[in-house]
Amino acid sequence: MLPTYPYAGRTYSFDPAAPIDISLPLAPGPDQVNCFWAEPVQFDTIRVGSFVGSVALGGSTNYQRVHLTPHGNGTHTECYGHISPDPAATLNQCLRRFLFVARLVSVAPVPQPNGDLVVLLADVQAALALQPDRSLPEALVLRTLPNDPAKRTRQYSGTNPTYIEPALAHFLVAHGVEHFLLDLPSVDREEDAGQLLAHHAFWTYPAAPRCSATITELIFVPDEAKDGLYLLNIQVTSLELDASPSKPVLYRLEVLATA
């Protein structure tokens, strides 16, 4: 008997033994995804007196220090504290639930006259095929096409990666989407003179900050995950920062037939 989850007046089942991990791992070395000129992830062995924190080097245990930049290394989830001076605006304070119904859509970015690649609102709307009387779930997962496996290790810094048009962020807010996940380094252009238009639009900041809303960047959705409805579990560390390395996991939702 599979567990069930209610959504929009229907009951769905999901298989907890069939997770789809859409996070990118954090590991040392140059062959890991990187953006915004962040230093590569580093694992340092702790040494104290005669103790060495490496079993391979003769120590009794492995004991390491991790050096990383959440916004630049691997999959990460961020809150409105990313663009706010409020010290209380940390992900640990803003993200208090961890299970959400999510819609996965796949969209190809469109070349612009200036050469940029941009995910357009009209294409996301077409992929959603949203009926006028239907709303979106709490989370939207965006997979850009083509779904190149090189996204797992791409060095994005200085390449002007794909981003979304701000109108898409406004659309998500209008349809009640609280959690936006995408396989890009940022919802905004790599260099935009600090405007961060999509960030501000999604968090409706500073007019009326959506404190519980999150953006998760640098995911990778494998081809095995088909567009549709999923149960999303956003796993983060309890850091009092605006962002945290994260591990979003999807579970396919199947509607149960009514008697």
In three-state secondary structure terms, 81 is: helix
Q: Which CATH class is domain 4-37+69-255?
A: alpha beta
Task: Supply 184's token pair.
Answer: 């890009």
Q: What is the pTM of this model?
A: 0.96
What are 8-50's pLDDT values in tens digits?
Answer: 999 999 999 999 999 999 999 888 999 999 999 999 999 999 9
Q: Which of 7, 87, 27 is nearest to 245 (CA)?
A: 27
Q: Spell 107-117 as b/e; 16+ CB within 10 A means b.
A: bebeeeeeebe
Residue 18: what residue type? A
What are 84-117's pLDDT values in tens digits?
Answer: 999 999 999 999 999 999 999 999 999 999 999 9
Cα distances (Å, whole numbers) of residue 213 to 41, 69, 77, 202: 27, 21, 10, 8
pLDDT score at 202: 98
The domains of the chain are located at 4-37+69-255
Task: Supply 178's token pair.
Answer: 């609280």
